[in-house]
Amino acid sequence: MISVKNICCIGAGYVGGPTMAVIAHKCPDIKVTIVDLNAERIAAWNDEDVNNIPIYEPGLAEIVKSARGKNLFFSTEVEKAIDEAEMIFISVNTPTKTYGVGKGMAADLKYIELCARQIATVAKSNKIVVEKSTLPVRTAEAIKNILDNTGNGARFQILSNPEFLAEGTAIDDLINPDRVLIGGDTDEEGQKAIEALVNVYSNWVPKEKILTTNVWSSELSKLTANAFLAQRVSSINAMSELCEKTGADVNEVARAIGMDSRIGSKFLKSSVGFGGSCFQKDILNLVYIAKSYGLKEVADYWEQVVIMNDHQKKRFATNIVKTLYNTVSGKKIAFLGWAFKKDTNDTRESAAIYVADDLLNEQANIAVYDPKVEESIIYRDINYLGTRAAEENKQGIEVLNDPYNACKDAHAIAVLTEWDEFKTYDWQKIYNNMKKPAFVFDGRNILDADKLKNIGFIFQQIGK
């Protein structure tokens, strides 16, 4: 049996940081070192005030505090950590390609390849290499080719261990997972490697929740899971548009179909659209894989999920303009929320970015408040689109640290993140300080429509 006493994780991001922190917390006899070339990020993970760590997740700071400096370490010494570890997790970014073959759809694997080459160069003893990043099916084959043909004679086993975390509930998802999926080779050495990782997780996860498969099934399962979840969001959003035209209420429709045991109620909440780093990226990756195998109909089917999501964001912005008498030029629109979902400071692919971009094109003035997203990130996000010069975006968007100031003198409010605190505001006070008539566009369907209408707001929700 392979005994794992030292784990190295390459990548201190949204997956690597929380996952390794929980492993260290639950396995005090295993030394866990998270490495990253980004010295600023590592310094933030090592900040004396644990509340300043770079990722906000409920419960994460407490987990990090319990293990940091004992058996959990954050470092920029990548080669040292690789050399010492028996098991190495690769948890680096795999963004959608912005160049070359597969541009706009395929996963960019350059960081994965760099990791593999560095491991091969440094490793002098046998290693288990674990894919934690979301990867296209059969990526493990490419990693193994690099490791076996570039290294110092060390032997490598490649495992796929995809994450199924939902940001905002990542710590609970790690401590009480629905399942842990581990894929590896079916030969004796592959099974021993699988067993070594099973033994790590079995410190706190019941054995019946740890599923083992071949490596290809594991890689494809992650893409499939995200595609199915995103499909449900796009499906209910498609119905929300039909509800608006027919007079039906999408929330009532969702409740009715959600009570069908064959369908279930999860991911049936209509909204301005899904965001985050995974759904769109993984579906586009799936589309590209299908196209590369000549499966046009399969590719078209999944691509429609993304098309519907983009349409929902565009439709939300268009509805704001139409409702405000077909012009928002010079009008102040308050954005409540910039993160792609509540309880996270992650803004990747957030609907707020694209709604803001559309409204800036209409010469609106946007005031943004988000409880956890920093001002610099908001400007970075909108500048990244490249629609306008950075100075123009700076003039069009104001970021405030108080929601009441953000809404003061606004013509309308757009709710773009479902932060619980928005439900607790003194909406009468907000209304009194807005331009009249005052509008609320609830893109997340979290506010009490009747209550706000009684105050005087002209209120619109998705699907109503």
Q: What is the pLDDT of residue 277?
A: 86
pTM above 0.85, yes or no: yes
pLDDT of 189 strictly over 80? yes
pLDDT of 137 strictly over 80? no
pLDDT of 453 strictly over 90? yes
Mean pLDDT of 366-373: 98
Contacts of 360 (CB under 8 A, 6+ apart): 366, 382, 387, 388, 393, 396, 397
Mean pLDDT of 248-257: 96
In what helix (H) or strand (E) does residue 315 lie, and over which residues does it extend? helix 296-323
Per the prediction, the chain carries an average pLDDT of 95
In whole angstroms, what is the distance from residue 192 CA to residue 182 CA?
12
pLDDT of 231 strictly over 70? yes
Q: What is the pLDDT of residue 144?
A: 87
| Choice among 86-95, 133-142, 221-230, 287-296 with the minimum mean pLDDT | 133-142
Contacts of 121 (CB under 8 A, 6+ apart): 150, 151, 152
Question: Cα dist. 387→258, 332, 337, 358 in Å?
Answer: 40, 20, 21, 10
Mean pLDDT of 8-19: 96
Q: What is the pLDDT of residue 57?
A: 96
Strands (E), 360-411: 365-369, 397-399
Q: What is the pLDDT of residue 142?
A: 86
In whole angstroms, what is the distance from residue 276 CA to residue 6 CA?
31
Question: Cα dist. 311→131, 238, 254, 308, 318 in Å?
Answer: 33, 9, 20, 5, 10
pLDDT of 151 strictly over 90? no
CB 271 within 8 A of CB 233: yes
Q: Dihedral through CA 132, CA 136, CA 137, CA 140, nearest 10?
A: -50
Mean pLDDT of 21-45: 97
Question: Cα dist. 93→255, 307, 348 in Å?
Answer: 37, 24, 12
pLDDT band at residue 1 under the 50/70/90 scheme = low
pLDDT band at residue 139 under the 50/70/90 scheme = confident
Q: Which residues are catalytic?
A: 278
Q: Is 33 helix (H, G, I), strand (E, B) or coil?
A: strand
Query: pLDDT tens across 190-216, in order?
Result: 999 999 999 999 999 999 999 999 999
Query: pLDDT tens across 88-121, in order?
Result: 999 998 888 999 999 999 888 899 999 999 999 9
